[in-house]
Structure 1
Amino acid sequence: MDTSELDQLNTILDRDSELREKIKDQVNEFDKRARTMVGLLNRIHVTPTSAMPDLLDSLNPVLDDCKELVGSIAAVIPPNQFWRWKDLWSNSLRTAVFAVVLAEFLKTRNLATLSAVSDRLGIKEEWKDRVSLAIEDYLHGIISVVNELSRLAVNSVTLGNFEEPLKISAFVKDIFIGFSMLNLKNDPLRRRFDSLKYDIKKVEEVVYDVSLRKLASLPTMAT
């Protein structure tokens, strides 16, 4: 290689390194907010039903910060380079998806759709070549919610909320059926899906115990 070519390559490498650092700075801030939401949601295991709306409302300011940071990330990504850089924020985004999907279930007992989660996180359609919510990241977030709900099923009984395991059971079984219909070729995602059967079994054991003790009635499962 001649000197001019080496100089050109070094310029490209320096530019990429500088861009990577800019992206990482924004992603680190986003990750902090995502972990803050998880910390707030950890309180659901010790929060009575009457106080749950206030707890979920406390997520809103953090979500607003997340939306701003997603915009900051999109602003530094060059056009058509989404797949080149997405691994930098993938784990943080899955954490944020987990928070949004879990909060939506606790509020409405429904599953937040891919588009609804994207909207809640401020991800705009016109950014799809720079920042987008990949399907696998959305699905990983949902699986994490099921993991958390199996724990909540147990802890809600401790708090005297005997109907909650029934609602959780209906929801996680519906999730499992939906995943069963997907053609999952992503090995990590497939392995995590296979683990859902253990979460469902855990929830079913709680439901059985609650029903056996006549603390809740099985016909009230549908909500």
Structure 2
Amino acid sequence: MDPENMQLITRMLEQDSELREKIKDQVTEFDKKTRTMSGLLNKIHSTPSAELPPLLDSVRPILESCGETTAAIAALVPPNQFWRWKEMWSNSLRSAVFAATLMEYLQKGTLMTLGQVSDVLGIKPEWSDRFVLTVEDYLHGLITLVNELSRLAVNSVTLGNFEEPLRISVFVKDLFAGFAMLNLKNDTLRRRYDSLKYDIKKIEEVVYDVSLRKLAPSVRDKKDAS
């Protein structure tokens, strides 16, 4: 092989290796932030609802700081190379989606759109060829959200909050109905979606038990009252 060609290939490999390490450093920082948020948010299972606002306030600055990390990654990725590097940060991004959507549910009882999550994470439209929140990563984050809410439905009863499982049930069933309208061809995403049926079943069992014991008004009673 031509020596000049070999030198060119060697330089390209070295540049790729250097870029990978730089991206890896930022992804490691991203991981630290998402792990910290997940650890703090795990406390919702042992925190009375009245004490949730201070807990969420402690998470919010970390979530907002994720924008600095996404910007740093976007600055490193060369134009039109998003798909080449995206697997390096997909897991971190999905965890950030989970944290953002869980906080939104706990604060407002609503679901954040893909665009809203992108805004919260500081992802700019002009990064479309370098760093974006894909539909797949967004949906993975939502599935993790449902997994966590099924736990919360059980633990909220332990904390004496008997209406929370009813709210969770309505929210999760509406979200599941949305998933059902999608034609999911990704095998991993499809398997995770199928597992949501078990989460819904767990939530329904909690709601049934709470309603049977008349510990909280049924969803129908609440609608009639309104």
Q: TM-score range by the shorter chain?
A: over 0.9
Match of 2:86?
86
| Structure 2 residue identity aligned to 1:35 | R
Query: Take 2:13 and 2:146, find their aligned partners in 1: how far apart are those partners?
Result: 42
**Residue deviations 1:133-165 (CA, integer Å, cap 9, x gap):** 011000000000000000000000000000000
Contact 1:169 1:200 in 2 (8 A): yes
Which 5+ residue runs of structure 2 have no aligned equivalent?
A: none
Matches within 5 A, 1:7-156: 7-156=7-156
Whole-angstrom distance in 2 between the partners of 1:50 and 1:220: 24
Compared CA separation, residues 143 and 59, structure 1 to 2 (3 A) = same
In the alignment, what sits opposite 1:163? 163
Seen in structure 2, the aligned counterparts of structure 1 residues 41 and 174 have a Cα distance that, compared at 3 Å, is same
Shift of 1:220: 5.4
Q: RMSD in angstroms over aligned alpha carbons?
A: 1.1
3-state SS of 1:196 partner = helix
Using a 3 Å threshold, how does the CA distance of structure 1 residues 221 and 109 change in structure 2: closer, same or farther? farther
Q: Structure 2 length normalisation: TM-score? A: 0.96
Aligned to 1:188: 188
Identity %: 67
Q: CA deviation at 1:64?
A: 2.3
Taking structure 1 as the reference length, what is the TM-score of the superposition?
0.98
Q: Which amino acid aligns with 2:205?
A: E
Letter in 1 for 2:24: K
Which residue of 1 is the match for residue 5 of structure 2? 5
Matched AA of 1:108: K
Contact 1:170 1:221 in 2 (8 A): no
Mapped pair 1:204 → 2:173: no
Q: In the aligned structure 1, how far is the partner of 2:221 from the partner of 2:80?
A: 50
Q: Which runs of 5+ in 1 are unaligned?
A: none
Alpha-carbon separation, structure 2, partners of 1:90 and 1:124: 17
Q: Name the SS for the 1:131 alignment partner.
A: coil
SS at match of 2:170: helix
